Amino acid sequence: MEKSVEVRVMNTGVLNEIIRCPWGDTTDALMREYHDKQWGKPCFDERTLFEMLNLEGAQAGLSWSTILHKREGYRAAFDNWDIVKVASYDDSKIAELLQNNGIIRNRLKVGAAITNAQAVIKLGSLREFIWSYVDGKPIINHWRAQEEMPATTPLSDQVSKDMKKLGFKFVGSTIIYSYLQAVGVVNDHIEDCAFRGETVITKHKLNAIRVREITPGDYPALKDFLYHAIFVPPGIEPLPRDIIYHPDVFVYIDGFGDKRGDCGVVAEVDGRIVGAAWERIIPAFGHIDDETPELAISVLPEYRGRAIGTMMMTRLFALLRERGYTQTSLAVQKENAAVRFYQRLGYETIRESDEEYIMVKDLIMKEG
């Protein structure tokens, strides 16, 4: 479809033609309204969160347009997505739903909605669960084109894994990433889209963040990021800068680029490198074997809390897969709050000492 052009009349704010994400730039009024008014907007309403979870699951194998045009039918059929009522549906209600042409009459998908309602009740709050992964702050991506958007991310992988353990159905990583986009946990409107949500961007003071593969010209900056990667427990004085030259620490950057397995990404804001994530196969704290690269990552303190780490890890995992690696490891102190971040990315503890965890992330893509 030919992309429309945005024209703003000087000093009036009148919008004559609007740039939208390509999928929302359509003659389908319902799709267009959904794109403009709901998709990517942070949602904290328990019932709507439940509704969207089940609609995304119902979409599996179908188009979103098909589901959206049945949305009112679903609301009527499922008691306006009343979680307690849906959780109590019995066989007779299921039989009734399977005769309802206002919804997708798939027994597994209908059953999943009931199972999911029961899982939400056990969980207590879908809102608290979903938004805890981002500490209540939306991840705002900066895609120039729709084609740049991933189908899954480390975040969707972890949420999917956790929800499956809790008993939810139709919550594979691809479905969950679509869900996170839909309810605004992730804002994936392209940069030129008029509906990105300026208030959200202003609130979090996010400038354009660019994540790219590291180049030799970036290697000297790793000294600074290595220093910031060293965990200092609360109440302890900052370590001297020359701590990075301790042999157990300097091994993470010494001669970087010369060893097999050396690779990484950096994050830039307004041309300044503000974060780095890199991998090496070295006999260091998180060493597993001679085929598994170990992670080091840090973001400058003043740029933390902006999802830069997640953005870098998404790109780094893709880079490692491109290079044929099947897993990556790390070492992290138990006191470090980053433990939760790594768990959300899909890292799992394989061994531990009194002070630290050794964790591994499986990079093999799985269906779901």
Regarding beta strands 139-140 and 186-187, do their DSSP bridges make them parallel or antiparallel, or are they unpaired? Answer: parallel
Regarding beta strands 294-299 and 347-352, do their DSSP bridges make them parallel or antiparallel, or are they unpaired? Answer: unpaired
The Cα–Cα gap between 78 and 83 comes to 9
Query: What sign does the CA torsion over 136, 361, 168, 112 have?
Result: positive
Distance set, CA 47 to CA 44, 83, 358 (Å): 9, 7, 39
Looking at 56, 279, 294, 356, which residue is catalytic? 56
Q: What share of residues in the chain are helix, strand, coil (percent, to 5)?
A: 45, 15, 45
Which is nearest to 78 in space by CA: 43, 44, 40, 116? 116
The Cα–Cα gap between 336 and 343 comes to 12
Looking at 6, 46, 64, 143, which residue is catalytic? 64
C-beta of residue 67 within 8 angstroms of C-beta of residue 97: no
User: Is 34 noted as a catalytic residue in this protein?
Assistant: yes
User: Is 81 noted as a catalytic residue in this protein?
Assistant: no
Torsion of CA 81, 139, 311, 274, to 10 degrees: -170
The Cα–Cα gap between 288 and 41 comes to 42
Looking at 23, 34, 143, 219, which residue is catalytic? 34
The Cα–Cα gap between 51 and 71 comes to 9
- Could you give the residue numbers annotated as active site? 34, 56, 64
